[in-house]
């Protein structure tokens, strides 16, 4: 119970993602692209031509299949627990949405440039934003904070980016956009907590 109270935002985000997934899956299938678009997945023509900008937000809470959901929620849980300990809750939530929306915007911009459109959904942009934020926090704390080190985070980011590019079905633009936006947002939103000390060694 203490752990949930301490990680209230992270737990809340995970619960919302799971509930949305179950509703979508039971009402038409989370791997049914047409149904996902009806439920709010990002789709550039509908955003640009019909003004459905809300999709930049709703897409963050939709996932294509159980594996997509589980992969994102595991990483969200691991990174969120640490980020929530380092930032106030409002800043943490704001950063999450800035990164998720920023990732979707970059993905949309690149699709408009190429003229090739696909439905996009997932918390990945927001999760990559959390990685970007933790990278900045580590820089501010001279390479180590809590149980995190710069080396460990760089390995995680590098591996995540590599795995994304190794899979043809992944929206890598949303990942990179989220990473950049999360880093940039942390520059403004992160203010070191006095009770969180760096660990040496």
Supply the residues annotated as catalytic.
124, 175
134 lies in some domain: yes
Assign residue 9 a region: left if phi > 0, alpha if psi is -120 to 50, beta otherwise? alpha
75 lies in some domain: yes
DSSP reduced 3-state for 176: helix
pLDDT > 90? residue 123? yes
Give 142 or 127, the one with higher predicted confidence.
127
Burial 20-57 (b: 16+ CB within 10 A, else e): bbeebbeeeebeeeeebbebbbbbbebbeeeebeebbe
Handedness of CA 113, 186, 168, 67 (dihedral sign): negative
38 lies in some domain: yes
83 lies in some domain: yes
Q: Provide the domain limits for residue 122.
A: 2-189
Question: Average pLDDT for residues 103-128, to the nearest whole number?
Answer: 94
Mean pLDDT of the chain, nearest integer = 90
105-to-23, 83, 140 alpha-carbon distances in Å: 26, 24, 27
Domain total of the chain: 1
Confirm whether pTM is higher than 0.75: yes
Q: 201 pLDDT band (50/70/90 cuts)?
A: very low
pLDDT > 60? residue 177? yes
User: Domain containing 139 — which CATH number?
Assistant: 1.20.1540.10
Question: Average pLDDT for residues 83-98, to the nearest whole number?
Answer: 95
* CA gap 201, 199 in Å, rounded: 7
The tens digit of pLDDT for each residue in 39-70 reads 999 999 999 999 999 999 999 999 999 999 99
State the pLDDT at residue 1. 54
- Range with lowest mean pLDDT among 25-34, 87-96, 133-142, 158-167: 158-167
């Amino acid at each position: 119970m203490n752990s949930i109270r301490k990680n209230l935002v992270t737990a809340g985000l995970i619960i919302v993602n799971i509930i949305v997934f179950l509703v979508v899956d039971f009402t038409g299938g989370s791997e049914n692209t047409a149904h996902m678009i009806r439920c709010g997945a990002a789709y550039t023509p509908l955003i640009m031509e019909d003004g459905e900008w809300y999709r930049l937000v709703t897409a963050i809470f939709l996932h294509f299949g159980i594996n997509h959901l589980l992969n994102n929620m595991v990483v969200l849980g691991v990174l969120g627990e640490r980020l929530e300990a380092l930032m106030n809750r409002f800043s943490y939530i704001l950063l999450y949405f800035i990164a998720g929306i920023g990732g979707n915007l970059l993905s949309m911009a690149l699709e408009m440039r190429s003229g090739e459109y696909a439905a996009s959904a997932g918390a990945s942009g927001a999760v990559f934003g959390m990685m970007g934020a933790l990278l900045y926090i580590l820089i501010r704390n001279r390479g180590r904070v809590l149980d995190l080190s710069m080396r460990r985070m760089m390995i995680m980011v590098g591996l995540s980016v590599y795995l994304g590019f190794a899979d043809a079905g992944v929206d890598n633009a949303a990942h990179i956009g989220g990473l950049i936006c999360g880093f940039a947002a942390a520059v403004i939103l992160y203010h070191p907590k006095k009770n969180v000390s760096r660990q040496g060694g």
